Amino acid sequence: MSDSSRSTSMPNGILADRCHDDEFDYGIPTHCFCGGRAQLDTQSTMNPGRRFYTCQNSDDGAHHIRKCFDEAVMQEFTYLLGELHKMHETLQRHKVEILHIYDLHDENVMEFARLREMIAKKSDGIALELKNVLVAIFVLVAIIIYLFK
């Protein structure tokens, strides 16, 4: 990250220090802080065969991103591993929530069965009461008819 931590002149003329800008310092770069696209180049002089991310505009003499491929990939893997752990924790929480929902579902099924049974008993009781009321009315009508004959 040696070259990417230097100050650079931004397109609008403002001097900006990009040494702590996560967008340009961490992981695999996609753009230089000048706005140019990052590209993967192979070193041919100081470290033959070593690959670096450089800016497509690096030939203009200004300061541009230059980051070792190995470092960028390791940072990217570290970041992705952290994201993977977060997703795993989220999945575990969702699994617990789903099991809780299943438990609630089972409780609701049992409660509905209990209520259905209670309603069936009430219905039988109402039918029996209605039958008793009809018998009582029939008996009263019979008594009234007998008395007024």
Write the pLDDT tens digit of every residue in 17-44: 333 344 457 888 988 888 889 998 887 6
- Residues 112-123 have pLDDT tens digits of 999 988 888 777
Q: What is the pLDDT of residue 24?
A: 53
- pTM for the complete prediction? 0.52
The list of the chain residues with pLDDT below 50 reads 1-23
Q: What is the pLDDT of residue 75?
A: 93
What are the Cα distances from residue 51, in Å, to 42, 54, 67, 71? 4, 9, 9, 10
Any idea where the domains of the chain sit in the sequence?
Answer: 3-74
Pairwise CA distance, residues 25 & 1, whole Å: 7
Burial group, residue 66, by CB count within 10 angstroms (0-12, 13-18, 19+): buried
**Helix count and strand count (H, E) for the chain:** 2, 5
Pairwise CA distance, residues 69 & 50, whole Å: 8
Pairwise CA distance, residues 27 & 76, whole Å: 4
